[in-house]
Structure 1
């Protein structure tokens, strides 16, 4: 009788102990990455490895005949972006003053500060029978080797496809701190179609990593659908008025986030928008009281907010990619909402961190 009670008690204690282990954090020794203790039968990654005859898994404990393994922690979209944002933020000094004021009025805009938008990029298109390039579309540096832009900017224009990215300058003729990188790969979103205004987003891989400094530094990505402010900042070298002249100096403008229904009503009966403005995939911006807007040549550039809503810290979160609009300052402009595409971006830009 005593022996029976002892065995049952021992099993009960083992069961409680194991339940405490299951779900607890662990660290994968092979990669020093975070994991979670799970039954082998509930960890698909380890099961698949075992079927292929790979090395035995790292164990946390045992439950009867079942092994409790250190299972790679499932990655959530946005996890890598947040980690990288923290890494890029370390290149700035705490509360470093950017030497700028938030723009109040790239129609109705004003010149950007020299180191205000170090993630800002512009794409170069080689002209036929010439070594000169036309600098047309914008982009955002989001890692040491990738630029985020619009899919429309990767297709051949009247000149050619883009083959070069310029970073580190606000004036296009400036040679100080200028960094040029060749484009070695264009990754257009697989659901983008040239005859529709949806999924207008692409990634450009550079031939070599940029040199990070005060003039060239990746931006953060806004990973949440909700945007914590009512205004955003757009930047670009595009036209300063419809069919006007372009700016040699980087311009910035503060825009209101426009109500989705109101924006949708402005784009009715347009064939490339047969499903209307998508609240998940689009962000509309503009101004009801002043002539402030993005314009021709700004496509692909960033729509951004101050990181952690702190204008003194020289970091921005990219919330949108400038896509299309009706003229310039003639109604709300439409931007591709970055948060919808976070997983797609992360899987391409940081594949070594994906699981």
Structure 2
């Protein structure tokens, strides 16, 4: 058996293989409620053989959305709608994961195909918030959260985690990457606070550590808890890989089970050496220097490439995004190319014999 098709176990949850669906925003919900699009979008990956199907960044509060069309998990209507989806994923043998996030200063924006950019309040937008009144590029200037408001954020994430588990999700992932709220706090590029949530490293990482503690207290130790981290800002004087190693050691001590290792997102014009597997070395370093399992993501497009990442010890799993959008049955093709067996839906069994 290839490494790619070995099961992955975290606590009492067994993920049937190590091809995992990366969180990908769809900007297609109404009032935070997922609908038919989300059922079909996520369901196709489960039918296509992915082991873990992760939702898009799902807002823990209305003001935490990137766009008004983001999914949410702040009320019971959303829980019921998500339950319909997790039931289908489980029926296909997949594990269901939810990514919990807060956009911070990158919130209240138009969908990409509507032109992007900040939505004015007069057009249905809201005032975005952040650690400091520091805008992201040409976005509107956010309102800096007070210390009391920051202290309330972990409880909001914990309540969302409780709802996610109630909705049938087996794995939770905290979105601490891509320039959204928590990344804004730990990065010196965006956090210019002088209180207990700012200043040096210890102050800037206080919020992510408090969120982990609050979520763990809410869910108990048995729910697998992942964190998506931007391992570097790709910018001078920004967050670095050394900082990430230091933070991941603390996250592991707090009960985080795996780091979903990404990069960037908090600088509007970074210089990134993009290429196949360009973020894999960050996962390898985090895994090797902290002892915390890590997944790799970013331009992983071919089965043999993914297998080599795992076989070399660079990562414990791979998150696949655009390749799955192009071919939702990518895991079935990967099994064929690697000489492995994969789970096929009964309805598709007639296609299992490849020419």
Which TM-score band (shorter chain)?
under 0.3
Largest Rg, 1 or 2 = 1
Higher strand share: 1
Higher helix share: 2
TM-score by length of 2: 0.23
